[in-house]
Amino acid sequence: MARRIGCAGSVALLAALLVVGCGSGSQDASTTKTTKAQWARQAFAICRRLGHEQQRRHYAFERAHGMSLGEPGQREQEQINTDFVMPYVERKVDELRALPVPEGEQGKIEQILKSMEEGIRVSRAHPDWLAAPTEAHPIPFAKTIELTAAYGIWDCGQA
C-alpha cells in the first residue's frame, strides 16, 4: 500500500512539475498579452544590460591591447566597433526580437529592429562611418537613435 501511495505521489509530483515547467518557458506570442509599457521596460533592461557588458569588455580589451587612456585613434575605434559594438547590437536585435510584441505595435517595433539591422550592415561595410561620422556620412545608427528615443527606449539606440 505504501508503495502504491509513493508511486501515485511521485506521479502527482511529476505532473505538477511538468505543469510548472511548461509555464516557465518561452510563451507563444499569439497568446501573450504584453503592453507597450511592459515591452519598453523589458527592451530597456535588455539594452542597458548589454550596454554595461559591452562597456566592461571594451575596457578590458583596451587594457589587454595596451591602448592608451582617453580617446582611441581612428583605427583603434574601428577595431573596437568591429570587435565589440556590432556583436552587441546584433545581440540587442536578437533579444528584442525574442520579446512578445504588444498588439498594434508590430510596425513600430519592426521599424526599430530594421533600422538597427541597417545600421549594422552599413557599419560593417564602412567602419570608418561609425568611428568618425561626417556630414557626408552620418552615424549609421541615426535613424535607430531617432526611433528608439521616440519609443521611449533610447538606450537601445546607442551603438
Name the stretches of the chain with pLDDT < 70: 1-32, 68-70
Q: How far apart are the first and last CA of the chain?
A: 65
Residue 97: predicted pLDDT: 97
Residue 70: predicted pLDDT: 65
pTM for the structure as a whole: 0.74
Count of residues in the chain: 159
Instruction: Report how far apart, in Å, the C-alpha atoms of 123 and of each of 39, 40, 79, 96, 138 are.
Output: 27, 26, 12, 20, 11
Residue 44 contacts residue 74 (beta carbons within 8 Å): no
Residue 16: predicted pLDDT: 34
CA distance 143 to 116: 8
Residue 13: predicted pLDDT: 31
DSSP-assigned letters across all residues of 21-71: HHHHSPPPTTT----HHHHHHHHHHHHHHHHHHHHHHHHHHHHHTTPPSSS
